[in-house]
Amino acid sequence: EQCSVFEYVLQRMVLQHLAARFEPVRSPQVRYSKLEEVAKNVETLLFALSVLGNEEPAVAREAFQAGMGTLGLSAQLSPSLEEKVSLNDLDGALAVLEQAGPSLKKSVIDACQACILADREVLPREQQLFRAVAEALGCPIPLPDGSGA
């Protein structure tokens, strides 16, 4: 049985915060400092955000391209509703991106925001997933509200 995005986000955040309480806190080791080293993982993340945030395949594709374009990457995937977003793949991508350097993490967060705000509408599931991404990367930030302000 597959869990919803909300359940995934809740589980990821609870486990992350519980681990901090019961295990020695260790800063994630920086293993990646170049975008090329994590490009496939960023692509997986932006694909998930674009498909989960848009019911129309064309709008999802535009959101995906907006995120990828922010990073100067070409969009090689064509998000469509027919394709399933695997939360396991998303979790694996986040596990790799947790090990990115601070400036690379900021670039990933900026790309996520561009993806989410591409249609100028922020859905609750997009906010939830964005928050989980920010938490996973150790970059808790205010949620985008889509107001453009």
Q: What is the pLDDT of residues 50-99, one digit of tens each?
A: 888 888 888 888 999 999 999 998 766 555 544 666 788 888 999 899 99
Task: With 0.85 as the threshold, say if the pTM is over it.
Answer: no
Rounded to whole angstroms, how far apart are CA atoms 15 and 113? 24
The conformational region for residue 34 under phi > 0 = left, psi -120 to 50 = alpha, else beta, is: beta
CA distances from 47 to 30, 41, 66, 69, 147 (A): 24, 10, 11, 13, 23
Neighbours of 32 (CB within 10 A): 17
